[in-house]
Structure 1
Amino acid sequence: MSARFIPNSSEAYALVSTVSRHHFPSGNAEAGLAVLQRNAQEEIDGLEADSTSLGDALGTTLTLAEAHCLMDPRAAIYPTWDAWVTAMQVGSAVFAAATATEEYVQCRIAHKDRALQATGQQWYVHPGTWITAFYLAVICREKDRITALCQVPVSLLRENGSRFEEYDYAWIDTLQTYWLGGQDLVPKLVSAVDGTDPETVADPETVGKLVYPPMEMFHRFIRKDHEGFNRALTQALELHKQYWSEEDRAVSISGLVALAPLAMTCLAHDAGIPVEVESEYLPAVLIGRNWCGEFPT
């Protein structure tokens, strides 16, 4: 594997059992949630009239799901789970509509089956959106939706025209290969990791603190390296905290949950790897899949 992977030695990284979340103001949390909820519902209700609003709806519903975790960091109450499921449904709908071969496709979003127009390629059908949709489906344990996402051609994501790095496509290829049981998983992961070399990327801070860490976690996961996985998880959370503690980012809702490490942790949990790290960045009830199956999704 790449030299950038964390070595197995326990001296390489000391296991930390708890990673606290950076300070985030919560004075107007309830009012802010109410506004986000109204905005999300309005966008969802407008999707049948204009399905090309799916990209905006995904951004709003994901923000709402993460915002719920400010006051409910364990995701212990029903409204938080409901928000995460809705974001997951919108993320999956993005690609169901983009790849639909008929004029309409049926998608369940926010407790209602909706007839969405086939959209084809849109500005938001790109690697970043796919990775977000995949993580959400993993967190919600939606196996059929994960499979559908993994059947989305990487070539479709390249058609977008947006500027993305090769490591994005290599990471998607890796995740699709893993889920579908394809060949050359390790070489594909190595390609993704090598693409995050800080000497070659445009934004080494973001790549080093947010993009590379879940790749390292995945590496330990597929090797069934329990100790290495928990070391990588701890490092991922500490780097996430460093990134989102910067003054210009500290009040961004996106920093409240470590989405990629959370998804990798859900994979590990379901595979029997003991998760030995606790953090408000990782809603424990989502990891434990306590709410799964409570209502049709």
Structure 2
Amino acid sequence: MEEYLFEDIDELARSSKLIDATFNTSVMGLRARCLIDPEAAAIETWESAVNALQMGSALFAVAGAGEGTVECRINHKLRTIPAPGCRLVAGAGAWLTSFWLALICRDQPRLTQLSQIPLEQLHSPQALADEYLHHWIDTLQTWWLRGPALADKLIATIETSDPSVARVAPLDMLQGVLDPPINLFYHYLRRDQDGFTPALADALKLHRAYWTLNEDRAADINGTIALGPLAIACLAHDAGFPLGIESDYLPKHLLQRTWIGEFPT
């Protein structure tokens, strides 16, 4: 997988039309690494996390450029990537994944870049995404940039993600994968250390229940790590929350920022 990924990354210097697919492959590569290295104890796992982060950043940089070229660091090299000359698929789901990766890698400049992307640039047709997703992105951008009305935006996110309101995402995905990071973020914002750990334990139980419901899901590499809960847990860890939870869904050395500063990202 990594051999093909590195070839695709090299190809970006000639054409960026498949940059969204290359980003997806890089995220899959991180999940694959965590499958064989559950604690993220190997430098190669950290490299895969950074590559996924860099690909997400490059995707939105290229999508926002429209024309010309964009310089991005990916897989240890500065690369000049041409704008594709057509609209790229760089929507809300890719943004959220990229934001989680930036939190996990503790990359503040990229968090700022992602938070400055206009919400209208991320909007999907209403039939393709629930309203809560855009409230959620607005909440995270406002939090990182220290903007106004954060509490109101988080309340709007919680209200519109209720199963009685959200209609696009399947109920089990909403409850098992999409909602838990919102709940964790709520406890984090309130500095609720006593409530955070039980909420994290519940998030991991829900993640496991969703990704082991049947044989197809159990074999799906997307269930290897709980990306959203891991990202919020990284925030809690850095804020001194006593987590007291060990799980393959939360690779230990990503959570504990063991590899930060190992090489330029």
Q: Same fold per TM (> 0.5)?
A: yes
2:18 pairs with one of 32, 43, 53: 53
Q: 1:121 Cα shift?
A: 6.8
Give per-residue Cα distances to partners, 1:70-111, cap 9 Å, x unaligned. Answer: 121110111111111101100111111112266111000001
CA distance in 1, matches of 2:129, 2:64: 20
1:205 pairs with one of 166, 172, 192: 172
Letter in 2 for 1:219: Y
Letter in 2 for 1:80: T
CA distance in 1, matches of 2:62, 2:88: 13
- Number of the residue aligned with 1:25: none
1:278 aligns with 2:252: no
Structure with more relative contact order (C-alpha pairs < 8 Å, separation 6 or more): 1
The total of aligned residue pairs comes to 262
Structure 1 124/161 Cα, relative in aligned 2: closer, same or farther at 3 Å? farther
Q: 1:175 Cα shift?
A: 0.3
5 Å matches for 1:223-262?
223-247=190-214, 248-262=216-230
Q: Report the secondary structure of 1:249's partner residue.
A: helix
CA distance in 1, matches of 2:236, 2:128: 31
What's the RMSD between the two structures over aligned residues?
A: 1.5
- Number of the residue aligned with 2:187: 220
- Number of the residue aligned with 1:4: none
Give per-residue Cα distances to partners, 1:146-197, cap 9 Å, x unaligned. Answer: 1000000010012678711111100000000000000111111111111111
- Number of the residue aligned with 2:258: 290
1:170 pairs with one of 123, 135, 146: 135
Q: Report the secondary structure of 1:48's partner residue.
A: coil
CA distance in 1, matches of 2:182, 2:212: 22
Gaps of 5+ in 1: 1-35
1:109 pairs with one of 74, 87, 96: 74
CA distance in 2, matches of 1:102, 1:148: 19
1:95 aligns with 2:60: yes
- Number of the residue aligned with 2:147: 182
Q: 1:269 Cα shift?
A: 1.1
Give the percent of matched residue pairs that are identical in Structure 1 and Structure 2.
43
Name the structure with the higher helix share: 2
Q: Is 2:15–2:82's contact at 8 Å kept on the other side of the alignment?
A: yes
Q: 1:124 Cα shift?
A: 2.2
- Number of the residue aligned with 1:39: 4
- Number of the residue aligned with 1:196: 161
Letter in 2 for 1:103: G
5 Å matches for 1:64-103?
64-100=29-65, 103=68
